[in-house]
Amino acid sequence: MTERVFPDWHNIYREQPVETMPWYFDGLDPDLARDLEAIDLHGGRILDLGTGPGTQAIELAARGFTVVATDLAAAAIEVARARAATRGVVVEFRVDDVLDSTLEGRFDAVIDRGCFHTLPPARRGDYVAMVADRLPPGGHLLLKCFSHLQPGDVGPYRFTAAEIEAVFASALELTLLRETVYHGTLDPLPRALSCVLRRRAA
Ligand SMILES: C[S@@+](CC[C@H](N)C(=O)[O-])C[C@H]1O[C@@H](n2cnc3c(N)ncnc32)[C@H](O)[C@@H]1O
């Protein structure tokens, strides 16, 4: 089995224009838009984990949501702040590691478009605990990750519906899952899962 190489996120954002990154999508991801409709969430507080260039956080703020958006990479947060200022929207961008988070408070929804599927498998339980702490019972995680239908094993981890269900089962219930693509700059677009998970009552 190929040994997994974890990206150096700091250097990636320092050295590469965000518009060239595989995950860059300048607009609200259509799967995220559909999932927000599915949970009937049209306002409130959203936490965007691993926001990168901040495209989704900015789109959500432009639609009236109150958004906190975090990333491990300070260089990504700098880019995202500048883009929000240019767009004229307010987003609270913070450098924060999802696996060693200093965030507090609760959110109506947490979104993750491509962060979870890059994390070391041994730390997935810590990720689930972090998300569960930020959601009230009934709050939602909207998660986009690579699908098991994406060929190869280079890049992010791939998941089946059963694997997503199992990883989150202790704290969140999988309520909706669609096979889709990861909208970005690659051709063809990678196969992806769009997942809605609901925080269980404590
Ligand atoms: C595939 S990119 C997706 C970026 C963004 N969500 C988007 O849709 O454009 C994954 C992001 O997760 C961030 N990331 C990776 N590990 C992280 C961690 N432990 N804590 C916070 N962010 C992390 C990376 O810096 C990167 O910006």
Query: Over its length of 202 residues, how does the chain's per-residue pLDDT go in tens digits?
Result: 456 778 899 999 999 999 999 999 999 999 999 999 999 999 999 999 999 999 999 999 999 999 999 999 999 999 999 999 999 999 999 999 999 999 999 999 999 999 999 999 999 999 999 999 999 999 999 999 999 999 999 999 999 999 999 999 999 999 999 999 999 999 999 999 999 999 999 7
Asked if residue 137 is part of any domain, the answer here is yes
Q: Considering the domain boundaries, does residue 10 fall inside one?
A: no
Distance 125 CA to ligand 1 centre (A): 17
Q: How many domains does the chain have?
A: 1
Q: Whose CA is nearest to atom 15 of ligand 1?
A: 115
Contact 72 CB / ligand 1 (< 6 Å): yes
Residue 6 resides in a domain: no
Kindly state the tokens that stand for 92: 């609270």
Q: Which atom of ligand 1 is nearest to the CA of 24?
A: 9
Does 16 reside within a domain?
A: no
Q: Are 161 and 174 in contact (CB under 8 A)?
A: yes
Q: How many Cβ atoms from other residues are within 10 Å of residue 200's Cβ? A: 15
Residue 11 domain-assigned (yes or no): no
Domain span at 187: 22-199
Is residue 56 within 6 Å of ligand 1 at its C-beta?
A: yes
DSSP 19: G
Given a contact cutoff of 8 angstroms between Cβ atoms, the answer to whether 79 and 51 are in contact is no
Q: pLDDT tens-digit profile of 105-120?
A: 999 999 999 999 999 9
Q: State whether the beta carbon of 100 lies less than 6 angstroms from ligand 1.
A: no
- Residue with the nearest Cα to atom 3 of ligand 1? 114
pTM of the complete model: 0.97
Residue 144 lies in a domain: yes
CATH number at residue 48: 3.40.50.150
- Classify residue 138 by its DSSP letter: T
Distance 174 CA to ligand 1 centre (A): 22
Q: Of 93, 89, 46, which is closest to residue 72 (Cα–Cα)?
A: 93
- What's the gap in Å between 192 CA and the centre of ligand 1? 16
Q: What is the pLDDT of residue 170?
A: 97
Label residue 38 exposed, middle or buried (CB < 10 Å: 0-12, 13-18, 19+). middle
Strands (E), 43-131: 45-49, 66-71, 92-95, 109-113
Residue 12: inside a domain: no
pLDDT of amino acid 2: 53
**Pair type for strands 109-113 and 140-147:** parallel
Quick check: is 103 in a domain? yes
At 65, the amino acid letter reads F
Q: What is the C-alpha separation between 98 and 110, in angstroms, rounded?
A: 12
pLDDT at 3: 61
Which residues, other chains included, contact 167 with Cβ-Cβ below 8 Å and sequence gap of 6+? Answer: 124, 128, 159
